[in-house]
Amino acid sequence: MKINARKLALRILDDIQNSGDFSHVVINRTLGQYPIEAADRRFISNLVFGILENRIYLDFHIRKFSAQRFSRIHPSVVNILRMGFYQLIFLTKVPESAAVDECVKLAKLIHPKEGSFVNGILRQFIRTGKKVDLPDRKKHPVTYLGIVYSFPEWLVEKWLSQYGFDFTEGLLRASNEVPRLSVRVNLTKTTVASLMEDFSKVGVVAEISEKVPYGIVISDLNHLSIQDLPGFSEGAFAIQDISSMMVGHLVESTSGQTVIDVCAAPGGKTTHFAERVGEKGRVIARDLSEDKLKIIEENVGRLGLKNVLVEPFDATAYDDSLKDLADCVLVDAPCSGLGIIRRKPDIKYNKTPESLLALTDIQSSILEVSSRYVKDGGTLVYSTCTINTDENEAIVQSFLSQHAEFELCPDGMVTLFPHIDHTDGFFIAKMKKSQGAR
């Protein structure tokens, strides 16, 4: 039986709203229940992610064209209207009549009057030439940016105070763009040139990263799934954003070293370091969640790495057996994730100023504990996938002020921004422990 793509998309949107689960979890959970053609799967995913990315903007339109108070509209009807407005505004290849008619049919399943309600709103929007007056960007910059790019005003205001209007607008715009897939070549199995040639043979469009010489950025998969890419099952590459690859690239670990990754899931950095330190070296990869540990083990196994010890451990707890053991300790700390909103649009709606503040205590604790594992002359790396300075520079500066035995390396602290570096938003700080430190 042919799957009704919009009906399934509505079910996913309702589930996300009711369960509170991340969108990618709900999408995978729902689509896994049905035999869905690749084209429908892409349409559903694009529709759901697009609506989530632009939710505040779409809701602004609903409020403008609905005579009924927004809070009184049936929750599923709100999602149907979001779907209708999104198609009419962003999906130019979808005929207006199809977008409206399909939304009306979905609304009628709730109640016939809801079908008329949805039809009236969407038809009125079309009659106006699909135009709506927005707040003045100069007089009301916070409100304007919040609506146009669908970001909560507290976050817009925070970034405006840090970066100014033009920088913030570029950051917001890029955070709503679809990120390109990037992979790290497993140099223990193949070469960059060889993998690029294999990709080219199956019509995959890709280029070598300008930031990391063994990173490949893919712009077109030629309708292949990641698992179907040449070299995937053989472990020729790992899926990892360029920003994340930068950690291993900046640290420059060498053969025979010991590395401890205290918050290792899903294993991208762990496997990167394992490749760098070679068979004579070792990587101790830890995480608290058993499910996450399984993911690390799967990635380690697929890449054919034999020098990784995966074990459960709480990074906030101290392990005396690791004292002064490691040449490098990596603290990829749990964070707000504000740098990966383009991958998980739910983040911008789920975070609050209070939740960001609560994270800093955990981050400081993990960094403090983990620093004790670094041997004299060793390296301590702190990284996050957020661009929130309270979780980044402030944490590092506070740590350094209390630990004279550590100093910032010459290449110091690096922050990557989506609209400038075309990567995830990411922060890296590299610190060195002095010889003979006590």
> For residues 146 and 413, what is the distance between their CA atoms, to the nearest angstrom?
29
Which residue, chain included where needed, has tokens 């990892």? 240
Beta-strand pair 426-433/406-416:
antiparallel
- Closest to 169 (Cα-Cα) out of 139, 146, 153: 146
Which amino acid type is present at position 220? D
- State how far Cα 348 lies from the chain centre: 11
Both tokens assigned to 364: 């400081």
Residue 230 contacts residue 201 (beta carbons within 8 Å): yes
* Count of other CB atoms within 10 angstroms of residue 92: 9
* Count of other CB atoms within 10 angstroms of residue 297: 14
Phi, psi of 93 (to 5 degrees): -80, -10
Which DSSP string corresponds to 368-408? Answer: HHHGGGEEEEEEEEEEES---TTTTHHHHHHHHHH-TTEEE
Strand ranges, E, within 140-297: 181-185, 205-208, 215-220, 237-239, 258-261, 282-287
User: Of these residues, 103, 263, 335, 385, which one is catalytic?
Assistant: 385
Q: Which residues pair with 208 in a beta bridge?
A: 216
**Element of type H or E holding 315:** none
> For residues 328 and 14, what is the distance between their CA atoms, to the nearest angstrom?
45
Active site residue 385: yes
Structure letter (DSSP) for residue 434:
P
Q: Is the bond leading into 266 cis (omega within 30 degrees of zero)?
A: yes
DSSP-based three-state secondary structure for 208 = strand
Helix (H), strand (E), coil (C) string for 237-269: EEECCHHHHHHHHHHCCCCCCEEEECCCCCCHH
- Closest to 258 (Cα-Cα) out of 344, 317, 324: 324
Catalytic residues: 385
